[in-house]
Structure 1
Amino acid sequence: MTRPETGVAGLPFDRPGRFWRGNLHTHSDRSDGAMSPEETVRHYRDAGYDFLALTDHFRAEYGFPVTDTRPLRTAGFTTLLGAELHAPRTEAGPSWHIVAVGLPLGFPPPGASESGPQLARRARAAGAFIGMAHPSASLLTAADAESLDAAHAVEVYNALSAREDRGESWHLTDVLLNRGHRLTAYAADDAHFQPHDPPGCVAWVQVRAESLDPEQLLSALKAGHFYSSTGPELHDVRLDHGQVTVRCSPARKVLLTGSVPGAQVLQGNALTEASLPVEMFRHGYCRVTVEDAAGGRAWSNPIHLAPPAATTAGT
């Protein structure tokens, strides 16, 4: 079937509103996390986050939870309802891992014969933002990923999976983008707060919206009006006269990569602005990566320089 259009309509930096910091992939003790929903929300709120999606494992052993965090919303902090969905199977594993943010309470469990792609389509139809969770850690193939045709985005960095050296999934994302799939890219903690897990609050999204209203945040996520980070801030990214200009917090490296091998790279001490030519990517897309002195990185969503190609995906 044809993948639904999810391409970035425009860079978010000059859109109305401001950036709101949040995590899209988190677990509580309603599934296999160590802390209660209340403790988990408090942890992120106290760390300066603006919103959190609890995405407990939507499995029978946990009662298929869509954890209701609405009572935990405050004037300066909100939550998005969601879950991590599972169904058989991928090429290398027995179960899909699909982040669904914006699910309604009472979302029905998967049917006995429902596949992962079918479940994702149903979640998207119910209003959810759909992400491919930790593709590298799950050993997703390009064929797997193309079958997940309801996805809005790929989880390109997963802090929990990084402990196994499988935290990044940009390679698969670039393959999909080069095949014409208009996907965005997000980073997340996948926090469980179990012993020996990495700490929470190390990978996040900055979503551009006029308010913390959950529906506004969800709409902005679906439109691609966000960037991702493990440290640096992107103050502005704009395309003008054949160049991408980046303004950011102090960085040691700014890179422009994309639809062809190679990159445009600018290195220096405490860079806060860079302009990089897009000529080598003119028939495809490019994306910005900023790296700070501590090794933290921030990533823009793909910037499409060519008209979208028609794509199809199997089921």
Structure 2
Amino acid sequence: MQLSAFSRPGRFWRGNLHTHSTRSDGVLPPEEVCRRYRAEGYDFLALTDHFVGRFGYPITDTTALRAPGFTTLLGAELHSGAMANGELWHILAVGLPPGFAPSNSPDFAPVPDQESGAQIAARARAAGAFVAIAHPQWSGLTLEDARSIEAAHAVEIYNHGCATGCDRPDGTAIADLLLGEGRALSLIATDDAHFSEPDHFGGWVMVKAPENTPEALLAALKDGAFYSSQGPELRDVRLHDTHVEVACSAVATVILQGRGTAAVAHHGHSLTRAEIPLTRFANSPWLRVTVIDAASRRAWSNPIHRPA
């Protein structure tokens, strides 16, 4: 069994799914944000400004900023309802239609009579968006919070802005617990760039699609045909009867993770292939791969859901 990111037709396109501009609380206008990502070799970008009344509920129109070799996806970071800690939800929605109806979210605090996070996430998915639970560690999410977002396609496994701004970049714990409960989720790395600190060009997705168009990219994201990275390349991940086979760019560590304490690491120098035995994973219904290079940069596969 080969993960769809490596088996489906097409090529890999590099993109960032979480970005802000002066349409909300970023410091650069949309034109300059897109210019910088394009100059850095990105193939696509989603500007996801904060969807609150303070900023006029923006779904930033970047269609005029598309160019040969570079495309954009419309989206927003949605806010509505309170998490268990009393703070407002942050939900990433990429591929929103321009006419997506505003929530009752005047600012960055919950108010009475507004949608819950689960409700606005479900509404975004129904409108055609790829929906992700943003920065679980930064948000202080509980497992019960995360469970409630049944419409999520993905969890942010890494958020570069939360790494540089507060050392809370991680989504692995929440993602693995949800996977252990049977949720079919993918894992995304993002920048959450505002350009007010070094919060950019640090985490991205590599999406396998036949062409670099919004429609093809969005379909591949929803299908889980991608991997996430801070630098290393994943080139193949295959599940065999007795082991998982991984091919990648040169790394120092290849790790196979599963439910609970199930994990096996293979260490070496300039590793480009590894075979991890499944002995410790007999009771794990899912598996995922992390590779780490000599500079401690990571890449993450999407989960492999094993047949029952």
Q: Would you say same fold, with TM above 0.5?
A: yes
Asked if structure 2 preserves the Cα contact closer than 8 Å seen for 1:281 and 1:305, the reply is: no
Pair 1:32-2:34 in alignment? no
Corresponding residue for 2:16?
23
Corresponding residue for 1:135?
136
User: Bigger shift: 278-287 or 179-188?
Assistant: 278-287
Q: How does 1:1-315 map to 2 (within 5 A)?
A: 10-111=3-104, 112-163=113-164, 164-194=166-196, 197-283=197-283, 284-307=285-308
Per-residue deviation, 1:10: 4.2
Which runs of no fewer than 5 residues in structure 2 stay unpaired? Answer: 105-112
User: Bigger shift: 280-289 or 83-92?
Assistant: 280-289
Secondary structure at the counterpart of residue 215 of structure 1: helix
TM-score by length of 2: 0.94
Corresponding residue for 1:311?
none
- Among all aligned residue pairs of Structure 1 and Structure 2, give the percentage whose two residues are the same amino acid: 55
Question: Which structure has more RCO (C-alpha within 8 Å, separation ≥ 6)?
Answer: 1
Q: Distance in 1 between matches of 2:67 and 2:266?
A: 42
Asked if structure 2 preserves the Cα contact closer than 8 Å seen for 1:11 and 1:237, the reply is: no
TM-score by length of 1: 0.92
Q: Distance in 1 between matches of 2:236 and 2:299?
A: 12
Corresponding residue for 1:312?
none
Q: Distance in 1 between matches of 2:223 and 2:279?
A: 26
Per-residue deviation, 1:165: 1.9
Q: Distance in 2 between matches of 1:198 and 1:192?
A: 9
Per-residue deviation, 1:305: 1.6
Query: Residue deviations 1:48-103, cap 9 Å, x none?
Result: 00000000000100000000000011120000000000011100142000000000
Q: Tell me how many residue pairs correspond in the alignment.
A: 298
Per-residue deviation, 1:260: 2.9
Q: Distance in 2 between matches of 1:93 and 1:291?
A: 36
Per-residue deviation, 1:279: 3.2
Secondary structure at the counterpart of residue 31 of structure 2: helix
Secondary structure at the counterpart of residue 31 of structure 1: coil
Query: Residue deviations 1:186-212, cap 9 Å, x none?
Result: 000000001xx2241110000000001
Asked if structure 2 preserves the Cα contact closer than 8 Å seen for 1:98 and 1:133, the reply is: yes
Q: Distance in 1 between matches of 2:230 and 2:85?
A: 28
User: Bigger shift: 40-49 or 235-244?
Assistant: 235-244
> Over aligned residue pairs, what C-alpha RMSD do you find?
1.4
Which runs of no fewer than 5 residues in structure 1 stay unpaired? Answer: 1-7, 308-315
Per-residue deviation, 1:9: 9.6
